[in-house]
Amino acid sequence: MTPFGARLRDLRRQRGITLKEMAAALNVSAAYLSALEHGKRGQPGPGLVLEVCGYFGLIWDEAEALKRLAELSKPKVTLDASGLSVQATAFANRLAECLRDLDPDAVAALDDLLVRVRPKRPQYRRQPK
């Protein structure tokens, strides 16, 4: 399951909406939504994410959070370690080898560490006039 899929399922269940109802409203198949929820389909496109936000009436922080979850929901990730240090390249390879075997607490601890040390990205950039 992907972060986007888990949140989509939570939103749908909290509101008592079936896959079939939501699929009809978004003009997609119930099978597609189910595959998104279970992580069997890739990252949703930005258009679908916006439609989901509109469907659930998500605005501001909630909508931004859902968009970020979609960005973090690529089920098959490729990491380019070219140009990184020897240590960073080794770490990336070790992580790829053992990620499937890590227990949930270890994954959560590594994720928390990455969130804390990652530089903040600017959210909005003004275009020059």
pTM above the 0.75 mark? no
CA distances from 48 to 8, 28, 30, 51, 54 (A): 12, 9, 14, 5, 10
Domain locations in the chain? 3-71, 86-117
Question: Which helix H or strand E contains 65, and what residues bound it?
Answer: helix 60-71
DSSP 99: G
DSSP character at residue 72: T
For the residues 73-84, what does the mean pLDDT come to? Answer: 87
- Do the Cβ atoms of 4 and 66 come closer than 8 Å? yes
Q: Identify the CATH assignment for 3-71 out of 1.10.260.40, 3.10.300.10, 1.10.540.10, 1.20.1600.10.
A: 1.10.260.40
- Say yes or no to pLDDT of 114 above 70: yes
Q: Is the pLDDT of residue 121 over 70?
A: no
Residue 2's Cβ-count burial label (10 Å; 0-12, 13-18, 19+) is buried
Q: Is the pLDDT of residue 31 over 90?
A: yes
